[in-house]
């Protein structure tokens, strides 16, 4: 079975995993039945929807999602204003115990959110560990609703509170403690260091990015429209991948504990990029909400093929390999430059997008003559805008034989 390819076997916190793909804490892990169906499809583990103490009231709104689509209709960005789990502690105790009995080889991580008292975090942590949770993930990162109550991202935006609450849980937890961080900070390394300094065994990143995905221009109400009003939401899906990749790379450079990488993973190559920037495992949410649990098969198959093709002995061998290629801007090489060529000119549809882009956002170096795109390399500055905008993949950038001062 492809989800069990030998190259995908890995482990985290000493727990052996059939592959590096875990479900992130969210709607697809909101019940025992959902997690059970995901495990049957081949997910190696799941982080439960965030569990809160019974004393904390939670009331969701409807609707609570809004999608941002590309011109072909695919959801490329997703906003939610959903709160944590509405199910009670007893439900989660039974669910975790049942799942561990039924799927002992799958990792079940309990995501937790207490209130401002140490006992609320500690009681939840102890109950879920006793139920059989393999690890705990502390939700210091939900950007909507919960921060108004002083929890969620309100914790992850304050390194001192991050350290204090991590310490409360570490005092009692007999299982690894993962701290899930928010990207809605100036420098995520500061909170990662605070969490690890207080004993966190791993970091998970990113939770959603605070957002407004649009405004209904008839009613002038921001989305999602909830009875005539809206609220800032959390943005996820493909659109946040660059933010997630940067966060994971920065965390990997700052701390040495394992990282659960996430944010916008849709394909095996997205996952491979996270691993190459330092993640030990990846978590997925939005793409599962959009396309279902079965995506784990192409994810696993694609990653196994890639590892095999590149002669990596496993995901651990890929982990962090791209980090060494990150430098300060000052440290970048100024001695090489690139110039465009219409390498696949037979695919050119003469749409003129490259010409317009270079004319108004570049260096006026493109013309179309004799039904072919022509580059004036005297004028060209090697910026690569033309390659970015070409919808047909016609333009290649090649190392220039002659360089010049970039204007
Ligand atoms: C509808 C929805 C509900 C979510 N609920 C939670 C939650 O309860 N706890 C949590 O830690 N993260 C929650 N998240 C954040 C995800 O776990 C994840 O960090 C984020 O969506 C980025 O990953 P993605 O781009 O694969 O979705 C939620 C995300 C979505 C879209
Ligand atoms: S690389 Fe930049 S300057 Fe050169 S042709 Fe393309 S868009 Fe114009
Ligand atoms: S953008 Fe691409 S397809 Fe369009 S004219 Fe330029 S090279 Fe041809």
Q: Is the CB of 375 under 6 A from ligand 2?
A: yes
Contact assessment for residue 340 and residue 396, using Cβ atoms and an 8 Å cutoff: yes
pLDDT tens for residues 136-182?
999 998 888 777 777 788 888 999 999 999 999 999 999 999 999 99
Residue 203's CB: how many other CB atoms inside 10 A?
A: 27
Contact assessment for residue 319 and residue 276, using Cβ atoms and an 8 Å cutoff: yes
Residue from 240, 197, 210, 281 nearest 23 by CA: 281
Indicate if the pLDDT at residue 92 is higher than 80.
yes
Kindly give the distance from the C-alpha atom of residue 405 to the centroid of ligand 1, in angstroms, as a whole number. 46
Mutate to test the pocket of ligand 1, among 285, 286, 291 (most ligand atoms within 8 A of CB): 285
How buried is 90 (Cβ within 10 angstroms: 0-12 exposed, 13-18 middle, 19+ buried)? exposed
Instruction: Give, rounded to a whole angstrom, the gap between the first and last alpha carbons of the chain.
Output: 55
pTM of the model as a whole: 0.96
Q: Is the CB of 121 under 6 A from ligand 1?
A: no
Closest atom of ligand 1 relative to the 288 alpha carbon? 26
Q: Is the peptide bond before 402 cis (omega within 30 degrees of 0)?
A: no
pLDDT at 83: 92
pLDDT at 1: 56
Using DSSP, state whether 128 is helix, strand or coil: helix
pLDDT at 401: 84
Supply φ then ψ for residue 204, to 5 degrees: -115, 135
Identify the weakest region by mean pLDDT among 35-39, 160-164, 181-185, 399-403.
Answer: 399-403
pLDDT tens for residues 202-240?
999 999 999 999 999 999 999 999 998 999 999 999 999
Closest atom of ligand 3 relative to the 357 alpha carbon? 1
Using DSSP, state whether 193 is helix, strand or coil: helix
Q: Is the CB of 373 under 6 A from ligand 3?
A: yes
């Amino acid at each position: 079975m492809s989800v069990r390819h030998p190259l995908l076997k890995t482990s985290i916190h000493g727990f052996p995993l059939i592959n590096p793909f875990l479900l992130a804490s969210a709607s697809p892990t909101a019940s025992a039945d959902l997690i059970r169906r995901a495990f049957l499809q081949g997910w190696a583990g799941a982080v439960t929807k965030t569990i809160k103490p019974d004393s904390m009231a939670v009331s969701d709104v409807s609707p609570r999602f809004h999608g941002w689509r590309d011109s072909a209709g695919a959801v490329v960005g997703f906003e939610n204003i959903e709160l944590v789990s509405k199910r009670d502690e007893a439900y989660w105790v039974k669910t975790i115990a049942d799942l561990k009995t039924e799927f002992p080889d799958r990792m079940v991580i309990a995501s937790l959110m207490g209130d401002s008292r140490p006992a609320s975090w500690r009681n939840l942590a102890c109950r879920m560990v006793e139920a059989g949770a393999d690890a705990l993930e502390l939700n210091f990162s939900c950007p909507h609703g919960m921060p108004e109550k002083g929890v969620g991202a309100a914790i992850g935006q304050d390194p001192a509170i991050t350290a204090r609450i991590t310490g409360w849980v570490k005092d009692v937890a007999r299982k690894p403690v993962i701290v899930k961080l928010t990207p809605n900070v100036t420098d995520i390394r500061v909170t990662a260091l605070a969490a690890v300094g207080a004993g966190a065994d791993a970091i998970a990143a990113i939770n959603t990015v605070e957002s407004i995905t649009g405004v209904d221009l008839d009613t002038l109400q921001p989305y999602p429209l909830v009875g005539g009003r809206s609220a800032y939401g959390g943005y996820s899906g493909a659109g946040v991948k660059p933010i997630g990749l940067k966060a994971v790379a920065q965390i990997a450079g700052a701390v040495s504990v394992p990282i659960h990488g996430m944010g916008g993973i849709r394909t095996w190559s997205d996952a491979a990029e996270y691993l190459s920037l330092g993640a030990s495992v990846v978590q997925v949410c939005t793409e599962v909400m959009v396309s279902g649990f079965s995506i784990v098969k192409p994810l696993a198959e694609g990653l196994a093929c890639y590892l095999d093709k590149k002669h990596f002995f496993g995901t651990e061998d890929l982990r962090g390999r791209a980090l060494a290629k990150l430098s300060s801007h000052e440290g970048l090489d100024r001695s090489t430059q690139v110039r465009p060529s219409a390498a696949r000119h037979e695919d050119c549809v003469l749409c003129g997008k490259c010409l317009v882009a270079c004319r108004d956002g570049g260096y006026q170096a493109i013309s179309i003559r004799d039904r072919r795109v022509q580059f004036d390399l005297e004028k060209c500055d090697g910026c690569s805008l033309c390659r970015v905008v070409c919808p047909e993949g016609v333009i290649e950038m090649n190392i220039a034989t002659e360089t010049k001062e970039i204007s």
